[in-house]
Amino acid sequence: MSFVHCLKSLRIGAMCVMVWCSGVVFSTDALAKEHDLIGNDESQLHQKGANSPAANCAAPCIGWVNPLVKPRLALLCIHGLGLYSGSYQAFGNQMARLGIVTYAIDVRGFGSWKKSDGHTNIDLKACLNDVKSALEAIRQANPGLPVFLLGESMGGAIALRVASLYPDLIEGLISSVPAGERFQQKKTDLKIALEYLKGKNKQFDVGTKLVAQATQNEKLRQDWSSNPLDRMNLSPNELIQFQSFMNDNHIAAKNVIDDPVLFVQGTQDKLVKPEGTWELFNELTTPDKYFFAVPSEHLIFEEGQDKRADLVRLSTMVSNWMRMVAAKDGTIAQNRKNNSVSDQALEEPMDARVSDAIVKLVRGQNDQALPLLEAAVKEIPGSSDANFWLGVTYARLRRPKDARAQMTAASAIASRIGVIEPGTATSITSLTNPADSERRAATLVNVDPAIQTITNGKPVVLAFSAPWCEQCQVFEGFFAQAHNMLGDNVKLLKVDVDDSNNAALLKLFKVGPIPTVVYLDRNGRITSTMIGQTNYINFVKGISAIVH
């Protein structure tokens, strides 16, 4: 009998643990109602995701992007209880290799939020707003790309809720082990109730037991318990909020009406009961739904994949499903049609030696990239790409004078190809393609005057970040390297999202997760937006467009 057929015969009822102490009856369900998180209809669920007092805070984020591939799909990932965005590291890298730009954000109370004053506790209401804001920002940064949402465990429940509230923001949902029905639930409820008596906001260790149930992998257990951005201690109040949120999964599932949905369950899961996931799957209203059972423990997409072969099979399965959904919806074909003109008009094919050199730079093989780029500069002297990436290589080899010389050459070549004077829409000289001229001129008509004030005739990099955000710390080094390479030819500006004086800038650029980097050319046109922590090559690739 198959796994799915076995699940069809299983159902689980609601569980309530009662603890009698000093004449007072405690019930985890009763305590949960204090949080006003258990809803009875669709309108209540909508109210739960709106008007959070912390709704405007930016969620810490990591992004995985292949610098050599133009992405055709985008994916946002939400992590499970106790983990943080970095738990998707291996999966995100593999998806990027497949041409899917992938992001993951920290849920309130986890990851970098642990260092943020006022946001150190779990807040699942505010998290719904964070996900909504992230999806909107991802759509803006990747115009025309189909966007999917993936979550695992607690993240699977959050993703399910977001899909029920904001179906127009995604093309499809991937929800892994989202059920709230767990093995040893009675023991867990008893523990929470007893700890509640000691103090509802007093944290205690729940992570050790959680990790023990989630995996038998000793290395994973050690990594999970030792990572400072993972979280092992939670308060009874937070756990009650978590469980009541999970209890509302059944209402959320019924409110997923049309979006394609993929449910995933591990056959060796010792934490979440497989029959709970199957029951939720049956409650989905959408007819476009799929159930995959995979040979895995509780963590399927996050830190549970030790074998590369398993990771490749899993990412291939998911990417094929995403492509199938997007193709069926017609979005991929339409995007290819829409992008074909702009790709031809604004992007020239890159010399093979330059692209090969970038691959080596990504791998840290700077010495091997150097001769390829030196040869490209010598043989194709009109290529600003070759000069730019040679400058990057010199900078990484700690040759700042040579780096600046190449950057100056790249800018000079770009200036000879075509210059647009700041503040005008028509003063364009000697562009090789008339259609290209018309397209660039039309673009400048809609440039916001406020943005032109920021650039004032010089390319600008705006990095939106926060001091407490771990994912933002890489930009200190990135800015130092870029300044050594570019000098004063490009303005490099950091914007603190916690500073109220910067509120207008956040609104102007519609900043979602942090870090967010906005690249502005000298005319004030946004050439690209990069969301999430990334590597230096992706960061500097954005600069290449504004220098040119």
Q: Which domains does the chain have, with CATH numbers?
A: 33-332 (3.40.50.1820), 344-417 (1.25.40.10), 448-548 (3.40.30.10)
Give the pLDDT confidence of 355-395 residue by residue, as tens digits.
888 888 878 898 998 998 899 888 877 777 888 888 888 88
Counting residues of the chain whose pLDDT is more than 70, the rounded percentage is: 74
Q: What Rg do the C-alpha atoms of the chain give, in angstroms?
A: 25
Cβ burial of 291 (10 Å; 0-12, 13-18, 19+) is middle
Give the pLDDT confidence of 433-477 residue by residue, as tens digits.
334 434 433 344 456 777 878 888 889 999 999 999 999 999 999
Are 479 and 494 in contact, with CB atoms under 8 Å apart?
yes
Give the pLDDT confidence of 12-33 residue by residue, as tens digits.
333 233 332 333 333 444 444 4
pLDDT value at position 173?
Answer: 98
pLDDT value at position 437?
Answer: 37
Compute the distance between CA of residue 487 and CA of residue 537 in angstroms, rounded to an integer.
18
pLDDT value at position 527?
Answer: 92
**165 or 488: which leads in pLDDT:** 165
pLDDT value at position 438?
Answer: 41
- The owner of tokens 């440039």 is 447
Residue 112 pLDDT more than 90? yes
Instruction: For residue 76, give the H/E element and its range.
Output: strand 73-78
Residue 76 pLDDT more than 90? yes
pLDDT value at position 310?
Answer: 83
Beta bridge partners of 20: 25
State if pTM tops 0.85: no
What is the mean pLDDT of the segment spanning 46-53?
Answer: 37
pLDDT value at position 410?
Answer: 78
- As a dihedral over the C-alpha atoms of residue 536, residue 541, residue 546, residue 548, rounded to 10 degrees, the angle is 130
With cut-offs at 50, 70 and 90, classify the pLDDT of residue 177: very high
Average pLDDT, the chain: 78
